[in-house]
Amino acid sequence: MLWPATLLGAVAGLAVASIPGAMLGALLGQVLDRRLRLQSWASLRERLGGRAEPSDEWLLFVLLGRLAKSGGRVLPAHIQQAQAEMQRLALNSEGQRQAIAAFAQGKTGRDSLRGPLRRQQAHSEALLRACWRMAWVDGQVGQAERELIMLWGKWLQVPPATQEQFSDAYAPQQGPLASSVSTAYQRALNVLNVSADAEPAQIKQAYRRLLSRHHPDKLAGSGASAQRLHEATERTRELHQAYDLIRQRHGFR
């Protein structure tokens, strides 16, 4: 006996409706894994052509999570650097929550990053600089970290020579030049009265407070002498230089 297609569909619908939600989800997951060989629901959306483009911040923290885990385990320094990147981007509480989720997603190593990176060439420098900051956070770059960043740079169409420049900007200095750079950096910290492990928000607050106190425009209307105005101008210039040096070293805007 042949059953009409509509009747068969109705029977099938009743059968599916009678399956508890959790069991139905498990069954669907098995079908997806077997038929489509997918790693996640995100992969399904991509295969169906309905996956939304990840935000710049999401992609960045996926990359950082992948780097942090590439050496086998995530160090406290990696977590601190991820937090520094969140502060550099001035993420709100929801943005930070999403960044943490993206970082955790990146640690799994399951995402295919080639396509998303190729669509982010306009932001290649910002992405790669953040990656090199993460890679150098423990004082050295492992082979796995370097290979990952160089591959990502290739997808972003960034020349290897430019990549090396990015890397050198965050590598620990050595030799006489290192001593000079280290001295200048320590002097800058002293000027702002902050420590090397201060958070970006603390550094910004110290800079703004001192700038407000010593800016010559604030003294000009109070009848200050020419000598006092000159000293205030020099002090303001010193604050600007110190802040710029620390900002570049810590990698925030």
Which DSSP letter does residue 2 get? Answer: P
The residues near 245 (Cβ < 8 Å, ≥ 6 apart) are 184, 185, 188
For residue range 5-55, what is the model confidence (pLDDT) as tens digits? 443 344 344 443 444 444 434 433 444 344 433 344 344 334 333 344 456
Q: What angle do CA 167, 168, 173 make, to 5 degrees?
A: 135
| CATH hierarchy code of domain 175-250 | 1.10.287.110
Using pLDDT thresholds of 50, 70 and 90, give the confidence band for residue 199. Answer: confident
pLDDT digit string, tens, across residues 49-105: 334 445 678 999 999 999 999 988 898 889 999 999 999 899 999 999 999 999 999
For the chain, how are helix, strand and coil distributed in percent, rounded to 5? 75, 0, 25
Of the two residues 170 and 134, the one the predictor is more confident about is 134
- Number of Cβ atoms within 10 Å of the Cβ of 89: 19
**Res 27: pLDDT:** 39
Residues 6 or more apart whose Cβ sits within 8 Å of residue 68 = 74, 75, 78, 79, 82, 103, 106, 107, 134
* Annotated domain spans of the chain: 22-52, 56-170, 175-250
Question: Which residue, among 85, 172, 165, 81, has the nearest Cα to 125 in the 3D structure?
Answer: 165
Which position has the token pair 């990840």? 54
The pLDDT value given to residue 10: 43
C-beta of residue 249 within 8 angstroms of C-beta of residue 228: no
Tell me the three state secondary structure of residue 126. Answer: helix
**Above 80 in pLDDT, residue 1?**
no
pLDDT at 232: 81
**pLDDT for res 157:** 94
